[in-house]
Amino acid sequence: MKQLILITITAIVGTFSVNAQKLNIEESTYEGITSKVIEWRRAIHQNPELSYQEYETAEMIAAHLESLGIEVQTGVAKTGVVGILKGKKDGKVLALRADIDALPVVERNNLSFKSTKKTTYLGEEVGIMHACGHDTHAAILMGVAEILAKNKNKIKGTVKFIFQPAEEGAPEGEYGGARTMVNEGVLQNPDVDAIVGLHINSQTPVGVVRYKPEGTMAAAQRFVINVKGKQTHGSQPWSGVDPIYISAKIIDGLQSIVSRELNLTQEAAVISVGKIKSGVRFNIIPEDAELIGTIRTLDYDMREQVRERMTKMVKTVAEAYGGQAEIDIFDTTDITYNDPELTASLIPTLNNVLGEENVILSKAVTGAEDFSYFQSEVPGFYFFLGGMSKNSTEAYPHHTPDFFIDESGLIFGVKSMTEITLNYLNAR
C-alpha cells in the first residue's frame, strides 16, 4: 500500500469481545488459530520479497491452501496464488484479497524476526522489509482459509482467496498485480459477485477498524520528469544551463498547482517528488536531471486538471530558464471505491465482531491501493484494521524503517473476514 496516514486516533473503550449476536464460528476456534497466524506472519516478515519476486511467499501460501483441500492456482500474475473453496450448497461467489509483496526499506528495530535481506533495486543496493504490513494480510487470509475450509458445511456458495503480488508497484513497463490479475481473468471462473479486502494500519489501535463508503483512498499516478540543461564548470554557471536549478523551480511550481489551482474544499490532492537524480561531482553543473514522484487525487476531474497543468508547467518553466523538460505520467491505481450498498450490508458484521464503538466511520485518505482495479469490475469493500499497540506512545507510519505492528490485532482481521464471508454468502 502506498503511504497511508490516518490522522485521528480513537482510544479503545471497553473490551474487544462485545458481540450483539453469536458469531458463526466458535470463539475457541479463533483462539486456536491465533498462534498459527502469528507464526506465518513472522515467517513471511523475515523473508520479504519485492514485487513480482514473491516466489517463496507464494510457495508457502500454495502449500498451505493445498493442505486444506482447497483448489489452488499458481503463477497468476506471475507470482500470485488463487484458492477456490466451494461450500456444501450453491450460491454467490465472494473473493477475499491479500497482497503479499514487500518494500525496498532497511528494517530498523530489535524484533527477533526482523528482515536482514538485501537486494538491488533501481541500480542501488537496498534492504527489503514488510514496511506496510502485507505479511500480516497474507497470514490473516491464510487463517481465514483454514477456518473456512474446516467449516465448508456452513458455506453457501464459493470463496475465492486472492493472494496478490506487486501491490506496491510493478517494474517499469509492467502493470501492478491487481490490474494484471484482472486482465488474466481472476474475477471469472467462477464469476465473482463481490470482493473484500483489508489493510492493517500502524496508527489505528488494535481492536478498531475504520471504513468509508464510496471513495476511501486516492487514485495514484507516477510521474517522471527529464530536465535537459547544458553542462559547465561549477565556477561558471553563466556558461551553461543548470538542470538542478530548473528542477527546483519545477518542484516549486508543481506545489502551486495544489495550493493555488485546485478546489481543496471538494477533495484533497497531493503532488510529491520522491527522487531527484543529477550530477556526479561537486564542481560540475550537470547536463540533465531526473525527477520522479507521485500524484494523489480523490476526484477524477481533478486528476485530469493536475495532469494538464503539470504537462504544461514542466515544459514552460524549463524553457523560461533556458532548458528543456519532458514529463511522463503513468496511472498506478484508480480511486478505491467502496460500493455503498455492499458496505452497508457488511458493517453490521463488523459491529458484531468488534463492538459498534470500535467500528469507526472515517474520512478518505490520500494513500492509494490497486485493490481499486478489482472494485472497478465488481462491488468491493475495503477497510482498515488496527495494528497499533493499546498503550503505544509513538506509532510509526507505513513505508518507514521503524514501522511496527502489534500482532495481537491479527485475530480481529481473521474474525472480521471470516464472519463477513459467512454472513454475505448465507444472506437470503
Which residues are part of the catalytic machinery? 101, 167
Q: How far apart are the first and last CA of the chain?
A: 34
Burial class (CB in 10 A: 0-12, 13-18, 19+), 141: buried
d(CA 30, CA 18): 15
Lay out the sheet containing 80-86: strands in order across: 71-76, 80-86, 156-164, 89-99, 194-205, 380-388, 209-211, 359-361
Taking CA atoms, 133 is separated from 100, 103, 157, 217, 279, in Å, by 9, 10, 30, 17, 36
| Contact between 64 and 93 (Cβ < 8 Å) | no
Burial class (CB in 10 A: 0-12, 13-18, 19+), 166: buried
Q: Which three cell numbers stand for residue 417?
A: 473476514
Check whether the bond before 213 is cis (ω within 30° of 0). no
Check residue 319 and report its DSSP letter: H
Phi/psi region, residue 359 (left: phi>0; alpha: psi -120 to 50; beta: rest), is beta
State residue 113 phi and psi, 5-degree precision.
Answer: -115, 25
Query: What is the H or E stretch that residue 161 is in?
Result: strand 156-164
Helix runs in 262-397, H state only: 300-320, 340-354, 372-375
